[in-house]
Chain A
Amino acid sequence: MVRVEFLGPIQRETMELDIANLNELATILKDDQEMQEWLENSAVAVNDTLVNNRDFALTSGDRVSLLPPVCGG
């Protein structure tokens, strides 16, 4: 299972999904109306490294994090 975490202001419980890549995650989340804006403005990390490719392969035990817009300081 792949663990999907929503960071910062995204009010969403962690999900445990059986997915092989980020395309599959995008498909699962695309019907969720409340998530649409977050999908547009969030970056994605796998095991705490930012990724830029939806074909990025996932294996069981991986952690995916969604990072919405930031403002430190």
Chain B
Amino acid sequence: MLELYDGSLSVASILKDWYEEEASSNYGAFISFVGTVRSEDGIDGLSFDIYEPILNKWFDEWQKKAKAKGAIIKMAHSRGDVMLHESSYIAAVFSPKRRVALEFIDEYVEDFKASAPIWKYDLRDNKRIYAKERSTAIKGSGLLSDSKDKEEQR
């Protein structure tokens, strides 16, 4: 299940819902990761753009991988502005036994950072500034650049 919200996440309520949804599903382990906006470099908060069609596909692929291990994943993310000490991201894995969930949450959150089509901006003095230095180029980037063209000709 993938949930997108405008603004910050109601962490306690989302985690409660997820816990209750799976309370009798016979999962022995439930591991969650909550991402919270920290006060850093004088920012007022963060802001996010999301491209949903590709995010949905990315999530569905991970859900398939989880199911193959008898597990399920859930995710919630914010659109728009999220201020300091509020949360913008929750990922969770439910699995029959702990090892699968512990390993899966690591792989799934890391790939999320590297591949999910979400763009982050710092909020500073009422401006929205793309967090370029903290962003990761998606695998296969540069397809349309000249240097790529030259590489192919070599």
Interchain CB contact (< 8 A) of A22 among B136, B138, B139, B144? B144
Q: Is the interface of B mostly helix, strand, loop or mixed?
A: mixed
* Chain B interface extent, by class: 35 or more
| Inter-chain contacts of A72 with B (CB < 8 A) | 48, 50, 77, 89, 112-113, 116, 118, 120
Knowing A48-B57, A54-B149, A54-B152 are in contact, say whether A71-B143 is a contact too (CB < 8 A).
no
Check A70–B136 contact: CB distance below 8 A: yes
Interchain CB contact (< 8 A) of A42 among B57, B142, B147? B142
Question: Which of B23-31, B65-73, B98-106, B127-135 participates in binding chain A?
Answer: B127-135
- The verdict on B1 contacting chain A, using a C-beta distance below 8 Å, is no
| Inter-chain contacts of A53 with B (CB < 8 A) | 143
Contact with A along B79-101 (1 / 0, CB 8 A): 00000000011000000000000
| Inter-chain contacts of A69 with B (CB < 8 A) | 132, 135-138, 141
The CA of A71 and the CA of B50, in the complex, are separated in Å by 10
The CA of A48 and the CA of B61, in the complex, are separated in Å by 14
- Count of A interface residues, CB-CB < 8 Å: 32
Interchain CB contact (< 8 A) of B89 among A8, A25, A73? A73
| Inter-chain contacts of A29 with B (CB < 8 A) | 144
| Inter-chain contacts of A36 with B (CB < 8 A) | 145
Residue of B nearest to A26 (CB): B144
Check A39–B145 contact: CB distance below 8 A: yes
Q: How far is the CB of B78 from chain A (nearest CB, A)?
A: 10
| Inter-chain contacts of B57 with A (CB < 8 A) | 48-49
Residue of A nearest to B143 (CB): A44
| Inter-chain contacts of A40 with B (CB < 8 A) | 141-142, 145, 147
Residues of chain B at the chain A interface (Cβ within 8 Å): 35, 48-51, 53-54, 57, 77, 88-89, 109, 112-121, 130-132, 134-149, 152
